[in-house]
Amino acid sequence: MRTAIESMLSSVSLGIGVILTLAIGSSLALLAWPARNSPGLEMWIFSPEHKLLYEPALEQRAAQDEPNVNMRVIGIPALKSRMMSGFFAGLPTADLIEIERQMAGQAFTGPIDSVGFTDLTDLIEREGLLEQINAPSFGPWTSRGRIFGLPHDVHPVLLAYRADIVEGAGIDVTQIETWDDFARVMRPLMADNDGDGNPDRYLLGLWETDADRMETLMLQGGGRFFDEQGQIAMDTDLNAQLLAKLVSWCVGPDRIAADVPDFTGAGNKLKLEGYAVAFVMPDWMCNIWRLQLPQLAGKVKVMPLPAWEPGGRRTSVWGGTMLGVPKTTQRFDESWALARDLYFSESIARELYTRNDIVTPIKLYWDDPMFDQPDAYFSGQAKGRMYVQQAPLIPARTSSPYYKQAMDRLRDAAVAVAEWSRSTRTYEYDAIQARCRNELARAEVAVKRQMDRNVFLEASP
């Protein structure tokens, strides 16, 4: 039997639920809000690695009698809660807040005038920063044509592959232009040498539950889930075509993909064993492999992503971080100066790559010779230059407060189609595509229902 509380919650709309949640959260935040314990600027970030990047610059500023900066590292859930409670209640948050992509959508919710971050569009244009920064990198921090943050990175994507396995088999990756080429040229690596009836290895680390990689590859092919006005756009022919191809790689006797999860011991063991040969690799993932899989040093190379069609885009994008100035700051000019000092610092841009393998969005620094240095982990390739070459070609992205819901529904759609395919033993692409279109239609309805029921987070005109 359902409790009275369960019955009450089931009758509350999403919008009212949001009101109650934020009201409670902001009330608690008001009681527990941390007082500033030092003079100067308050800066909230979520990454300990970024703290290490910024500390030398902040120490140098302090030596020059610039305003003191109190930099707090706050975990993502706590940072999001504190930030949104502050925006909702009009409480001071920080003078600068650094957030990642999945947090950004919620910050841009509601009418454009109600966004808690300062609209930087005119200032960025006036100071000529649009020409200095990689244009597609503004996408996740832009809502309804207005820019609310400086991009910290680009995060272009290449394809990493086990060069020891591929080249050891005499395969020439220069013969690969498209994903169809990839499947054809790499197919000999899927031999069943142990006689158990299954391939000893698969060609691609990808699974229907992996929404991040699904999105990355669909973006590469021109897919998208929201339009420029933030309206849901999942149910399209192109999205169905792309999703069907991805699902078809994961099902049936001819599948080429395998589940090799990131950030897990089991997944790392499979990578070491060569269970999958190639992986979608954003620039930041290079450092993850370097730290977690040192045994693969000298056995890995990168190449441009195979295109969806001849002459098509050979990169994509995955992830991102921005630095924004909340409207409640009392020291906007000093905050903006600090934001520029950090994000346009040549030394920080160098450290960002040499320490974290991340390409700066500041185009002026792309000619730095550090990107041309051979990388021993990646078999001596000038891996940095390969990422820089793809940086201006990453696909455009839009921002939405319903981004996470859309990604959850994308995952659900992919899983539903894959389970149907396996249960019915239906592996023909056309049938899978038709099923994908049905599931994407269901996904769009589900997300739109949430958007329409939100009486508090009203849409902009």
The 8-class DSSP code of residue 45 comes to E
Query: Each residue of 32-69: b (16+ CB within 10 Å) or e?
Result: ebeeeeeebbbbbbbbeebeebbeebbeebeeeebeeb
Contact criterion met (CB below 8 Å) for 415 and 175: no
Contact criterion met (CB below 8 Å) for 173 and 166: yes
Contact criterion met (CB below 8 Å) for 187 and 315: no
**7, amino acid identity:** S
Question: What's the confidence (pLDDT) of residue 36?
Answer: 52
Contact criterion met (CB below 8 Å) for 217 and 392: no
Rounded to whole angstroms, how far apart are CA atoms 93 and 76?
15
Query: Per this entry, what is the length of the chain?
Result: 461
DSSP β-bridge partners for residue 276: 202
Contact criterion met (CB below 8 Å) for 356 and 49: yes
Q: What is the largest CA-CA distance in the chain?
A: 71
Rounded to whole angstroms, how far apart are CA atoms 95 and 177?
47
Taken in order of first residue, the domains within the chain and their CATH numbers are: 7-154+319-371 (3.40.190.10), 157-317+396-452 (3.40.190.10)
DSSP β-bridge partners for residue 147: 142
Question: What's the confidence (pLDDT) of residue 455?
Answer: 54
Rounded to whole angstroms, how far apart are CA atoms 60 and 54?
10
Rounded to whole angstroms, how far apart are CA atoms 26 and 30?
6
Contact criterion met (CB below 8 Å) for 271 and 290: no
Strands 41-45 and 69-73: parallel
DSSP β-bridge partners for residue 205: 258
Q: What is the pLDDT along the chain (461 residues), one digit of tens a residue?
A: 344 434 433 433 444 444 445 445 444 444 444 545 557 899 999 999 999 999 999 999 888 888 899 999 999 999 999 999 999 888 889 999 999 998 888 888 778 888 999 999 999 999 999 999 999 999 999 988 899 999 999 999 999 999 999 999 999 999 999 999 999 999 999 988 888 888 999 999 999 999 999 999 999 999 999 987 788 999 999 999 999 999 999 999 999 999 999 999 999 999 999 999 999 999 999 999 999 999 999 999 999 999 999 999 999 999 999 999 999 999 999 999 999 999 999 999 999 999 999 999 999 999 999 999 999 999 999 999 999 999 999 999 988 889 999 999 999 999 999 999 999 999 999 999 999 999 999 999 999 998 887 654 444 43
Question: What's the confidence (pLDDT) of residue 401?
Answer: 86
Contact criterion met (CB below 8 Å) for 211 and 410: yes
